[in-house]
A = this chain, B = another copy of it.
């Protein structure tokens, strides 16, 4: 692989994928097994003859039983990769369906949140809500399984300049929905103007030659669409009062907001949302729902995945693991050589288990974040029909935080819009409401941005992840100190039990975190088996 062919941010994961292409999945496993021991440099040096590959054989693995707890993306990945490598896996899933937080709500989906009655989704056929993960960055390992399972993907519109900002109590722009393009043009314009004028002031004392300063000013003129005198006087980038058209319809550019108004609006603080490494376009999602990925794994794992199987005890001894679980009111038991536990720590901490005291306390003290979503089905796609808005989001400082327009089935009659995606205190506030109260709140606040809400609304389905049985949280959160402390403990095998999941990764809250941690655990177990 020549330097220029190698992606600039070559990661261990991407590296292993490449090795996989070359040496086959076993090469990956054995390499993964040694990930902890080898520095990336050594690994790259040995990339084409991964250690242990030559002495790999199925004999070592024959009959080795791995019990996997949880059929979320981590559990499914571990089972799928281990089976490929010749291991014998059983996956126990407490819920009646697999996928964990990869949860696509469709007509007929029903789930009772803790302390509430069941909620039934009444969306039209072909409409859905991805209640958990809804988008995939191009570089996440998640896409590798879309490819492997031939799951068609389509763009997820994470950026749409036609979306709106709507803030309350921010001065003169309060309570107005402002197209993102307008706020961006004005902020970039004024900011570029300020710096362009400052560049040549000695006070700034920039370490630049006058030629470089001129290049900087030229850039700022373009960046802010400034006039020859370096003033921002509005820009077509921000949109038109009268759009250009045929004949003499030249178009009339909107008037810019004044500097104070736009600074006080706080809109500028939303721009960064689109800059994050894992939020930048292009993003993608499977056509037809995120759970196509779950179905891809299930199809290949068949009856190795046991649903409605709630783990009640996790035991281990010198020579194996013993898992007790309930299924259809039956008390059952399973024994194996190793256990991969992907159960959320918020749930795991309540299950009797033979963990070291150090591991037990790490599991007990890990904090979990709140998150909630609501899907709103409307009679017609007024955002497309009335507002020429196809996918993307609107952001607000109201409780609902953000609205996402369906990034699929454009121009179809109806649509399920993401009425809110909330975290933290907003999630706790909305989560504490009844399903009906959540719906009312989402409609009341959303209607301030889209008055059509009132007339066009049909049905909703909401979720509060802290109240979902066997999840009891959105994702783990670690402070820098916790990453250096309890997190390290969680990453170590507890004798024959390995933890996996996005909480055992540095890509928390993403499917790729679950996948990468599962692959790494698979590698560790395989290495251990090979060396035994």
Contacts and interface: CB of A to CB of B under 8 A. Distances in A.
Given A281-B159, A390-B138, A254 B201 contact: no
A222 interface: yes
Interface in A231-258: 236-251, 254
13 contacts: A11-B244, A14-B243, A138-B162, A153-B411, A154-B154, A154-B155, A154-B410, A194-B195, A208-B259, A222-B271, A247-B491, A247-B505, A250-B506
Nearest to A219: B268
Interface in A348-404: 386-392
B248 A488 contact: yes
A532 interface: no
A4 B453 CA distance: 12
Nearest to A405: B282
A398 B208 CA distance: 27
A263 interface: yes
Nearest to A177: B4
Nearest to A239: B9
Interface stretch (A62-70, A98-106, A323-331, A512-520): A512-520
Interface of A: 2, 4-5, 7-14, 35-36, 40, 138-139, 143, 146-147, 152-155, 157, 159-162, 177-179, 181-182, 184-185, 187-188, 191, 194-195, 197-199, 201, 203-204, 206-208, 212, 215-216, 218-220, 222-223, 225, 236-251, 254, 259-260, 263-264, 266, 268-269, 271-272, 275-277, 280-282, 284, 386-392, 407, 410-411, 451-452, 483, 488, 491, 500, 504-507, 512-513, 515-521
A276 B194 CA distance: 21
Nearest to A1: B386
Nearest to A508: B244
A515 B222 CA distance: 30
A86 to B, nearest CB: 22
Contacts of A516: 245-246, 249
A242 B9 contact: yes
Contact of A246 (B242, B250, B392, B517): B517
B240 A451 contact: no
A138 B389 contact: yes
B240 A275 contact: no
Given A5-B451, A5-B452, A251-B11, A195 B191 contact: yes
Of all A-B residue pairs in the complex, the 5 with the closest CB atoms, nearest first, are: A11-B243, A246-B517, A246-B516, A244-B506, A203-B203
Contacts of A138: 160, 162, 388-390
Nearest to A7: B387
